[in-house]
Amino acid sequence: MSTAPKFGLNVPQSEAVIYLDGPCLVLAGAGSGKTRVITQKIAHLIEDRGYDPRTIAALTFTNKAALEMQERIAKLLKQPRQAKQLTVSTFHSLGVKILRQEAAGVGLKDRFSIMDSDDCFGLVQDLAITTDKQLIRRIQNSISLWKNGLIDPEDAIRDAQDEDEAQAARVFRSYVATLSAYQAVDFDDLIRLPVELFRNNDPIRDKWQRRLRYLLMDEYQDTNTCQYELVKLLVTGINKKPMFTAVGDDDQAIYAWRGASVENLKTLGVDFPDLKVIKLEQNYRSTTRILQAANAVISNNPKIFEKSLWSEHGLGEPIRVLGMQNDDQEAEQVAIMISADRFQRKNKWSDYAILYRGNHQARVIEQCLRKERIPYTISGGQSFFDKAEIKDIISYLRLIANDGDDPAFIRAVTTPKRGVGMATLEVLGAFSKQWNCSLFEAAFKGGIEAKLADRQLIPLREFCNFINNLESRASRPGPSGSGDNAAAVLDDMMKEINYESYLYDMFDDRAAQSKWQNVLEFTNWLKERGCGGKDKSGEEKNLLELTQMVALMSMLEGKDEEPDAVRMSTLHASKGLEFPHVFLVGVEEGILPHKGDPDASVETIGARVQEERRLMYVGITRAQRTLQITWCKQRKRAGEQVHCDVSRFIKEMALDVGDAAPMETEIISPKDRLASLKALLATPREVPPQ
């Protein structure tokens, strides 16, 4: 087979695209064009090798990445419509697809519910009989790690190391039983249950293997045990040649805390001895100096696979490391430097990113950006539609629009509480499974009276009648159009559920007030949209139409064009992104690398520092042209100034070695640099002609 470059790619990229003799691992360094390889390979499979697009699946970790990939593939195909026939999705979306079609095989009804993390939090809270939020989150996290590691409750109870673990394991056992009774699954089940199904049911596994002839996986280093097992079960079988391409980078494995295992890259070669490994080392993103610093840092980690990034983008500007007196000065300087640099280079605000290890570092930086009137966006911040109080109200709207929406039913009937407890819901769940109907429908089925006492049945049916009444009014167009009618129905619903009182009962006054303001903002916005918008120029909508609009908006949120603003982001949320100019802040011992548990074993501390080093590597390789690194000599902790040491990673960057060392003409003292920045900022700006 010719190794000459094809498709406008370099030699290793071309090789990765055309290799179809068995399993393939593409080790793609940061900025080496991995998405291009995946999309080009899919186009090659369809156009040159005659694959039916319906038999190809490409798996990634975010919906956004999946959407972008699908759009890019469509542009490469002679018939762009074929891109729609591909399975391009997250691991979890593929899990949903399998479960929807094979529900009976795992003891679920067709219309099972998917619980979100808030729903699951409430369930763990009830089972653990505690209001300690940290404890609930810890138990939730343990349950997630057990499920992702394919550990069942009995094994978790048996292997518990102390009483805390034993308590979490007991909650885990009850949690699994309760979800089963509710006919519901959580996020982790979306992969765990297909794995169990394929392990225990050869005909179903065989069917899905025939359906998916070729599998591609992005960000393979971020897979956990469960995801790897799903992949194995999909690509291996009797007389079946494993046909897949995994794309990953062991140097960017930064999700061990949520169960991801970089070992999966190592295991791949053991499970598939004929694995073809192709390295992509040419970087199309960054300058040589940035790559040299990244290579120098990561060389301190033990390697699964040796590789070294290189670039044709020239040497580039020196990387600057600035020590600051404290975090106030750090934030102030970063804001001034961005403002001056933008003015000097005539850049857009969106050319700049500020990256940090933890969200707690953002507040003081935000204050300074606002002071300097610099627009910014925060990655990974909570969307309005993700706020618990908004989701509570939306659950009622979802239920009015579709009484078969079981997660909405569970959330609405328990928030605020309406005399319907867990015992009632468990009976209802079992009954709905028996009749293969929704929870709502089950409440009116004959025979339920024998299973529930009056004190359980009456509040349940009162709630369902309340929803039915709202639904009959919600779909009614109203005399003057539907907007006024929608507003009236909404007001009556809010009055009936008495949500404001519930907030003040559950939270302190300040939090309750803030949450209630959000609810008012949301309901007023809905009413406004129902009446055709602010200027009443749009179409009027009834409540059902408004609910559909909200569902769509919450799903599509974040798809708007990127605003011209500085991007603030944690290092974890920045993975996969790139920016011309990057400011990496707070690079100190205790922050990056993160302090962690000082009493942990030597092995655990060693593994943690290695992961933090990979995080530093991710931060460095986000930068295309310039990289500025700051650290503080002192930082506020719990209201007190504490001494800080510069991070070991800065020394590891070896900035004064080889080509990376700044030339004499490039050396400028921090004092001189600041003076020139201030002078720039003081220069009057040109006023554009009116």
Q: Give the catalytic positions in this structure.
A: 34-35, 218-219, 252, 622
Beta-carbon neighbour count of residue 604 at 10 Å?
12
Dihedral Cα 493, 494, 499, 500, nearest 10 deg: -160
Neighbours of 137 (CB within 10 A): 13
- Whether the Cβ atoms of residue 229 and residue 195 lie closer than 8 Å to each other: yes
CA angle, residues 262, 610, 356, in degrees to nearest 5: 105
Query: 184 near 410, Cβ under 8 Å?
Result: yes
DSSP 319: P
Distance CA 107, CA 129 (A): 28
Identify the sign of the CA torsion 445, 447, 450, 454: positive
- Work out the number of other CB atoms within 10 angstroms of the CB of residue 278: 20
Residues β-bridged to residue 626: 581
Residues 6+ positions from 578 with CB-CB distance below 8 Å: 31, 285, 622, 623, 624
Phi, psi of 607 (to 5 degrees): -65, -35
Could you report how far apart the first and last alpha carbons of the chain are, in Å?
63
Name the residue type at position 273.
P
Task: State the pairing for strand pair 640-643/634-637.
Answer: antiparallel
Q: Helix 189-200 vs helix 225-235: angle between axes, to the nearest 10 degrees? A: 40
Q: CA–CA separation, 684 vs 530, rounded Å?
A: 48
Contacts of 2 (CB under 8 A, 6+ apart): none
